[in-house]
């Protein structure tokens, strides 16, 4: 059975000439549609990060597939965070017309 996940990948210590290849490799295994390139002034802690949501039957196995695909392109460090988006905890609030008292609300 598949579940819906959000995965965030962070890649460090990579060859800067291979940024596009790294993104393509990761995206070939997961639907990463938002990519960010962090380039601090000291040029030491470069980071590529991607975010995407998709279905997976096993998030750990899928994370391993993503990592292996990226590692085939270049040597780097990879951190993948997976969050199952199904059955998340939530708060439910119900309001009715008699609850209209905007002047009594605290500041946001």
Cα gap 54→56, rounded to integer Å: 7
For the chain, the domains span 3-84
Looking at 56-60, 61-65, 70-74, 102-106, which range is the least confident one? 102-106
- Helix, strand, coil proportions of the chain in percent (round to 5)? 30, 30, 35
Indicate the SS3 state at residue 42: coil
CATH T-level assignment (fold) for domain 3-84: Alpha-Beta Plaits (3.30.70)
Beta strand 77-84 pairing with 3-12: antiparallel
Average pLDDT, the chain: 89
Split at pLDDT 50, 70, 90, the class of 94 is confident
């Amino acid at each position: 059975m598949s579940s819906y996940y959000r995965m965030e990948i962070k890649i460090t210590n990579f060859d800067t000439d291979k940024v596009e290849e790294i993104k393509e490799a990761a995206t070939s295994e997961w639907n990463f549609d938002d990519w960010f390139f962090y380039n601090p002034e000291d040029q030491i802690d470069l980071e590529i990060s991607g975010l995407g949501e998709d279905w997976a039957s096993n998030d750990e196995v899928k994370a391993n597939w993503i990592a292996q695909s990226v590692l085939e392109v270049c040597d780097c460090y990879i951190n993948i965070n997976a969050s199952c988006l199904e059955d998340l905890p939530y708060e439910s609030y119900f309001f009715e017309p008699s609850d209209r008292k905007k002047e009594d609300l605290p500041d946001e």
